[in-house]
Chains A and B, each alone.
Chain A
Amino acid sequence: MAYETVKVDTPLVLRILPVASVVAFFGIWQGVVDFGIVPNTMLASPTQVAVLFWEKLFVADPDGAVLSVHAWVSIQEAFTGFFLSLLVGIPLGLMMGWFNVAEGLARPIFELIRPIPPVAWIPLTIFWFGIGIPGKVFIIWLSGIVPCVINSYVGVRMTSPTLIQMARTYGATDWEIFKKICIPSALPMVFGAMTISQAYCWTTLVGAEYLAADQGLGYLITMGRRLASPPMVVLGMICVGLTGVAIGIVIERLEKKLLAGIRR
């Protein structure tokens, strides 16, 4: 047989190094704090963070909510904004890619708004919505919609011209071509937008909660600073990071599943 399956081991050093590096990272971190090289008012050690993590699972003080509530509020806001941006951004981008009129009407406004970082909208949304959930959802929506529109637009634009010409010779109308050819061929790009958009949403969320919130993981970080409690700051950062990674993995799985359906 020409083909046979074998198992090839990566060298031992290359398997040990990553583990060693992470262990060293935490070791140095712990050491730096324990031996007072960095004062405890500036940085918390991993063990302090772990202890606080355990406490925050049950104790609402001093920031007003237990950890799971903070996380749940953040996830809720992020997902609402994320889904709304998919809901508006993808159809808009697809239409802009195919219909001249849609592009002509939407493009200038989109180009006007695009260079403004979503965070810059925070003061305005506070004027408009106060510091409740709608304002944050609005900002997250703004940050998530940009990659959706761009990717959907590019996806449609990259449709093979041969396919379009083929459809035209069979007498398909513009709308049919859009529906039957442009959208399916743009789908991989559209799903790609989900990953990017989700990452943007999560990043912006922390910013939004920073400036205007009374709950959420971003708020936890702010409170940590106000209370001069480094463990709380670090805990908040780690929770933000971990939750972000978890959401990212879920979205990626979803994307793979959806894409597998198309390729078949």
Chain B
Amino acid sequence: MTTPATTTATSSIANEIQKQVSEKRPFSLSRFLKDRRFLYCVSLTAFFGIWKYIDYTQVLGNGIAAPDAVVAQIWKLANKTIAGKSLWGHIWASTYRIIIGFSIAAVIAVPLGVIMALNRYVNAIVKPVFDLIKPMPPFAWISCAILWFGIDEPSKIFIIVVGTFVPCLLNAYMGIRLIEPQLYDVIRMLGGNRKDEILQVGFPAAFPAIFAGLQISLSCAWTCVLSAELVSARSGLGFIIIQGMQLSRPAMVLAGMVVLAFVAWATTLLITGLEKKLCPWKREAVQM
């Protein structure tokens, strides 16, 4: 047994050795060239440089806009309105659709997945139908959605619900199914009943998987909302992109894409942070 006192002592010694070593390292050119921050700078400079150069040489004709033109376009979009909405309005229009569609899907799919995993009769009834519907890409539903709901908000929300439903349900189902069965034994040995097994083991143990499902769903939701908006919309980031295409203005298309990437990235960051807060017991895995 290691007592806490000795562990801290040894680790602090290790830290000291580490520090000394790193301080003693002399500057060398090869190490500087292999430094990650330096490489990141090189990479980004090259990326934007080539982008600018492609625009400059007109290899792609008028099919591309230089990075500075895109930034200028974003600035312009932020300060004036398109189709009655500012850039913030369009961002909110897309986000709002995602929030509604995503919530509907999560509220139905997660409990359904949990119940399917816990009750084999429900599973036997729902799973075959789910397996029939699962392989349809969300995009394939757009036509149906338009036939059923017209081209207004409901059809876009429907697409998001359909697209996020599958990963939500699958992850909830697998999360419950992959629980170590002996954890249930612990509850039974401590005198718990079936309800305690589900409340004390089922939900908390499946929580990381359910959450992972929500994360996947969220990135699906962005694809879905964009697809729906590309097909028909009067607002949203997809609308900006498609407007740019119809007006043959690549700067506007790229501006839409950059803003979209940023917002999608921010939502992902938000939900990752939320996960860290909600399940502090989850250990780090190799991720990218």
Question: Does chain A touch chain B in the assembled complex, meaning CB atoms less than 8 Å apart?
Answer: yes
Contact A154 B264 (CB under 8 A): no
Binds B, one of A10-18, A58-66, A167-175, A256-264: A10-18
- Is A120's beta carbon under 8 Å from chain B? yes
Contact B137 A202 (CB under 8 A): yes
Contact A22-B227, Cβ < 8 Å, known A101-B34, A106-B43, A210-B139: no
Contact A210 B142 (CB under 8 A): yes
Contact B230 A119 (CB under 8 A): yes
What's the least CB distance linking B34 to chain A, in Å? 6
Q: Which of A2-42 contact B (CB under 8 A)?
A: 13-14, 17-22, 25, 41-42
Could you say which residues of chain B place their CB within 8 Å of the CB of A203? Answer: 137-139, 223
Contact A17 B124 (CB under 8 A): yes
- Is A1's beta carbon under 8 Å from chain B? no
Residue of B nearest to A246 (CB): B135
Contact A221 B63 (CB under 8 A): no
Contact B288 A221 (CB under 8 A): no
- Is B272's beta carbon under 8 Å from chain A? no
- Is B40's beta carbon under 8 Å from chain A? yes
Q: Which of B146-196 contact A (CB under 8 A)?
A: 146-148
Binds B, one of A49-57, A81-89, A235-243: A235-243
Contact with B along A187-221 (1 / 0, CB 8 A): 00000000000000011011100110000001001
- Is B260's beta carbon under 8 Å from chain A? yes
Contact A237-B144, Cβ < 8 Å, known A120-B226, A207-B137: yes
Contact A17-B43, Cβ < 8 Å, known A120-B260, A127-B62, A218-B140: no
Contact A41-B147, Cβ < 8 Å, known A116-B264, A119-B230, A211-B231: yes
Could you say which residues of chain B place their CB within 8 Å of the CB of A233? Answer: 143-144, 147
Bound-state CA distance A149–B177 (Å) is: 29
Contact B148 A105 (CB under 8 A): no
Range of interface residues on chain B? 35 or more
Bound-state CA distance A149–B288 (Å) is: 9
Bound-state CA distance A120–B244 (Å) is: 12
Contact A224-B136, Cβ < 8 Å, known A13-B121, A21-B129, A120-B257: no
Could you say which residues of chain B place their CB within 8 Å of the CB of A184? Answer: none
- Is A150's beta carbon under 8 Å from chain B? yes
Could you say which residues of chain B place their CB within 8 Å of the CB of A237? Answer: 136, 140-141, 143-144
What's the least CB distance linking A224 to chain B, in Å? 6
Contact A25-B63, Cβ < 8 Å, known A18-B124, A108-B44, A233-B144: no
- Is A107's beta carbon under 8 Å from chain B? yes
- Is B76's beta carbon under 8 Å from chain A? no
Could you say which residues of chain A place their CB within 8 Å of the CB of B241? Answer: 120, 123
Contact A108 B62 (CB under 8 A): no
Bound-state CA distance A122–B231 (Å) is: 11
Most chain A C-beta atoms within 10 Å of own C-beta, residue among B36, B262, B268:
B36
Contact A108 B144 (CB under 8 A): no
- Is A144's beta carbon under 8 Å from chain B? no
Contact A248 B40 (CB under 8 A): no
- Is B287's beta carbon under 8 Å from chain A? yes
- Is B101's beta carbon under 8 Å from chain A? no
Contact A153-B288, Cβ < 8 Å, known A22-B132, A124-B250: yes
- Of B34, B47, B140, B254, the contact of A100 (CB 8 Å cutoff): B34
Residue of A nearest to B144 (CB): A233
Contact A211-B230, Cβ < 8 Å, known A154-B286, A203-B139, A241-B136: yes
19 contacts between A and B (CB under 8 A): A18-B124, A18-B127, A21-B126, A105-B43, A109-B43, A115-B261, A116-B260, A116-B261, A116-B264, A120-B256, A120-B257, A154-B288, A207-B139, A207-B227, A222-B143, A228-B147, A233-B144, A240-B140, A242-B135
Binding site for B on A (CB under 8 A): 13-14, 17-22, 25, 41-43, 100-101, 103-109, 112-113, 115-124, 126-128, 149-150, 153-154, 157-158, 202-203, 205-207, 210-211, 218, 221-222, 224-225, 228, 230, 233-234, 236-237, 240-242, 244-245, 248
| Other 20 A-B pairs with CB < 8 A, given A21-B126, A120-B226 | A14-B121, A14-B124, A22-B128, A25-B129, A25-B132, A104-B34, A104-B35, A113-B261, A115-B264, A117-B226, A123-B241, A123-B244, A154-B286, A202-B137, A218-B140, A221-B142, A221-B143, A225-B147, A234-B144, A241-B135
For the complex of A and B, the 9 pairs showing the least CB-CB separation, nearest first, are: A104-B39, A127-B63, A123-B245, A17-B124, A203-B137, A225-B143, A117-B223, A206-B139, A241-B135
